[in-house]
Amino acid sequence: MLWQALTTVRDLGRLHGIASILIRYGFGDMVRRMGLADALERAGRALHWREAEELAHLDPPARVRRALEELGPTFVKLGQLLATRIDLFEPEWIAEFGKLQDSTPPAPWVDIRQQLCADLGAPPEEVFAAFDPEPLAAASVAQVHRARLEDGSEVVVKVRRPGIRPIIEADLRWLARLAQLAEGESSELRAFRPQDLVRQFTQSLRRELDFTGECRNAERIAENFANYTDKDEPTGTGAVQAAAEPPAALPIVVIPRVYWQWTGERVCVQEFITGISARKLAAVDQAGLDRKVLARRGARAVLKMIVEDGFFHADPHPGNVFYLPGNRIALIDFGMVGRLTEERRDQLTGLLLGLVEQEPRRVADVMLDWTGDGTLDEDGLLLEIQTFVQQYHGVALKQLRLGAMLSELVAILRQHQLALPPDMSLLVKAFISLEGMGRELDPDFDMAGEAKPLLEQALRARYTPTALFQRGWRGVSESLSLVAALPQDISRLLRAARRGRLEIHIDVTHLKRVGNQLDNAASRLTVGIVIAALIIGSSIAMTVSGGPTWLGLPFFGLLGFVGAVIGSLWLLLSIWRSRGKE
């Protein structure tokens, strides 16, 4: 309790800002129900409840998006994460969250230079042959500068904004508290799983603050593409095929090199990529690149990361993709990556093959595995999934839109108030973005046709003798380890029982809230008994002669009545406030 009180005092200014913005955008009732208004009023900070009227005409998604923008960089990034949760939010919410742009004015060069001197061990003018103090881009967490090494290599220097970590940590503390209150107090918000979302967001943002993690991600993906070739893929003929094939020495998928001697938690130095941004399709045509080849190669590269490697670039939007001569592709910014276990990859393979080959039972089994053990109408969900898949029966493979099909499947889960695991929601969003980019390059892009051979290959690899032996041996090893540890576990259990330390933990949903309500009721009952005792005692004192008096009345009897009145007012006010929060 003491630590929570100290934390509240430390972040009181930020709390006032959060509450004021929420009120202005029409979420005053949420502020009241979460107790934020009471905390600020006790601290003597005024809240302007009437300010919400000017924004009342906006629909809820727009109001939430604008509130997130005004709340600052942490909340903008939270909105960008929410844009990936198509399993929780309707399309109009996803569209609004997608409008959030992580761009802010650059930090002063004096502050950036001072931090660079501390991180590099010397001024940037001495470390690099040339350094441009004007940033190429600036975001809420970092900004990027261009520089040149002594050997002439062009690099980008990514610098974390000075003083950004304490601000983000304060926001994360309040987000965790808000999520806890929202899930406990509001049945409407509980369906969005706010605590799970904030937990996922906190882990993601803290990883993003450490640039060494981003660089390790880049190197791991580069290693996975080290021997990647395009020779087995179908290509065009004649001049198109000649243009499609880069020289043998050049990689098809380019990942920027990391210069570790100058890379740390707050700064990273990577190879500068000279290419055409995926946003500039007209420049792609002017450079003579083949859009069809680029679309196919990009799709197969991302599918390889997802299906084969289980480690993929989770944000493949046009700003993170560049096209190079020879129809090569470069990927940058590996702050957000997805990780898939072997089990998840098997499930994904089964799901996509079920969609491509119109096998509803296979699709339904995977979706039921993803949704976990929550309460659901399994027969109804299965029927909807079967109806959905069967509507594509007889449709040509090239006419299937896997991204749209995944979106519709997720909508079915959302109607049943089910959510995907966080890793799968990130993958689905990345998959939809990938297909959208492919169709921008090539309107006839066949995502299903590109995915099917790779999925079938992954499925065959799962049942090779070597793979079967490895899974079988792993299962036997785990079983033997469990049997070997069983006597020791039983011994510990019996020892704890003999000492009276055997504990059984039962987690009942919302039991804490019920306990708090019982505690409040008991406290009010106690106060009521004390008030009754004061009234009776004071009445008796009034009849006793002698002793001090005030205004001609026995002082102690009068004092008891005053205490009873004060206690009654407090009790009535407490009951009124609790009803206002319901």
**Residues taking part in catalysis:** 315
State the Cα–Cα distance between residues 141 and 205, nearest whole angstrom.
Answer: 10
Do 21 and 67 meet the contact criterion of CB atoms below 8 Å apart? Answer: yes
> Is there a contact between 167 and 74 (Cβ–Cβ < 8 Å)?
yes
- Asked if residue 108 lies in contact with residue 454, where contact means CB atoms within 8 angstroms, the answer is no
CA distance 11 to 5: 10
Which DSSP symbol is given to 140? S
List CB contacts of 494: < 8 A, sequence separation 6 or more. none
* Residue closest to 403 by CA, chosen among 439, 423, 431, 424: 431
In angstroms, the first-to-last Cα distance of the chain is 25
Helix, strand and coil in the chain, % to nearest 5: 65, 10, 30
Structure token pair of residue 443: 């309107």
DSSP code string of 509-528: TTHHHHHHHHHHHHHHHHHH
Contact 313, 331 (CB under 8 A): yes
Residue 175 contacts residue 201 (beta carbons within 8 Å): yes
Q: Are 328 and 251 in contact (CB under 8 A)?
A: yes
144, 136 Cβ separation under 8 angstroms: yes
What does the block give as tokens for 379? 């027969």
For helices 211-224 and 194-209, give the axis angle rounded to 10 degrees. Answer: 90
> Reduced to 3 states, what is the DSSP secondary structure of residue 548?
coil
Structure tokens at 57: 């005409």
Residue 323 near residue 441, CB atoms below 8 Å: no
DSSP assignment of 59-70: -HHHHHHHHHHH
SS3 333: coil
24 DSSP assignment? H
How many angstroms separate the Cα of 481 from the Cα of each of 140, 338, 471, 478?
A: 48, 31, 15, 5
Rounded CA separation 441/316 (Å) = 14
Distance CA(504)–CA(383), nearest Å, equals 39
- Give residue 530's Cα distance to chain centre: 50
Say if CB 272 and CB 146 are below 8 A apart.
yes
Q: Where are the alpha helices (DSSP H) in 422-464?
A: 422-441, 447-462
Pair of tokens at residue 21: 């913005």
Q: Which residues touch 19 (CB under 8 Å, ≥6 apart)?
A: 31, 36, 37, 40, 47
